[in-house]
Amino acid sequence: MKIGVAGSVGLDHLMTFSGKFTDSFVAGSLEKVSLSFLVDSLDVRRGGCAANICYGMGVLGLNPVLIAAVGKDWADYEAWLSRHGVDTSHALVSTSLYTAHFMVTTDDDLNQIASFFPGAMSEARNIELAPIMEKTGRFDMLVISPDDPEAMLHHSDVCRKEGIAFAADPSQQMARMSGEEIKLLIDGASYLFLNEYELALAMQKTGWSDREILEHVKIRVVTLGSKGAKVESAAGEFVQVGTPQEKSKTDPTGVGDSFRSGFIAGLAWGLSHERCAQLGSLIATYVIETMGTQEYRFTSAEFLARFEGAYGAEAAAEIAPHLSF
């Protein structure tokens, strides 16, 4: 299964705050906010939604095609992703801008305050899929993850016109997109990935009801935090899976991206939606236990044992033939 992943590539600046952000909020004064937090640590790690998804798929033994605009500081990051099974040869390299930067502070309750500088990502609107597919072959699926909004809309439009299955993953970019733009992005998607907050935001901005959103896509996947994830369709499909027990809660950055990587890997392997969601949930658990979105490691045996512990021997037997990394 040939899978392209379009979206951001960036460097994550991960900070931790020993306390709760909510202790600094004053009821009745939220219309004027001036907050400053003394952080205890700073880690600079590789990140970006498309890169995180590709990394997870690569770790699971797949060879996704990264479709992204990157900066002139790309060389070391490219070598890293290439070593982990990602086809990076089609990235658009800016001659003037640096790779995007994501800055996030996490408190003791795992609440986060974040900012994003797009950098070279703003050039993603110049990427065309046709020349890439002339070299790679036609994509069986394109994952459209958070990116320059114009690029996201262009990719979804091309997929509809060319009959290419696509997974829409608007995530944090919904805050920048209008209701009409969100409609254009997700309409006709084979898969729509959201968390609970993003689903509520999509309903608010589009004016569509929960049911209407379902009717505009084939399958909707909603992540539920510690409660797992649910997969549903307008045709009546409904599956909900839980999350494996985490060994620690270190940092939630990139958890959603990693869930998508496991889910899409399951699709590539021809597994059921239940198994896909379970794969995504286990990868997400590895990420929350690790500082950095691309720092987790496991062997096939370790992954399978943990999967069986969470979801049972029958489920593990179904994924075992695909774990050859």
d(CA 110, CA 43): 16
Q: What is the DSSP letter of 243?
A: -
One-letter amino acid of 54? C
Alpha-helical (H) ranges within 177-323 are: 179-186, 196-206, 210-215, 255-268, 273-288, 300-311, 313-319
| Residue 257 annotated to the active site | yes
- Rounded to whole angstroms, the Cα distance separating 273 from 316 reads 14
Using alpha carbons, list the distances in angstroms from residue 37 to 90, 110, 111, 112, 113.
Answer: 40, 15, 13, 12, 10
d(CA 176, CA 149): 8
Query: What token pair was written down for 98?
Result: 């640096």
β 69-70/92-93 pair status: parallel
Q: Using CA atoms, how far apart are residues 237 and 66, in angstroms rounded to an integer? A: 31
Q: Sign of torsion, CA 268 270 272 275?
A: negative
Residue 166 · residue 142 · CB < 8 Å:
yes
251: nearest Cα among 57, 111, 48, 46: 111
Q: What does the alpha-carbon distance between residue 231 and residue 146 come to, in Å, rounded to a whole number?
A: 21
CA atoms of 35 and 191, how far apart (whole Å): 38
Q: Which of 12, 87, 148, 257 is catalytic?
A: 257
Q: What is the residue whose two structure tokens read 């040869």? A: 89
What is the rounded (10 degree) CA torsion for 124, 116, 110, 146?
-20
- Structure tokens given for 77: 């990051």
Q: Which residues are catalytic?
A: 257
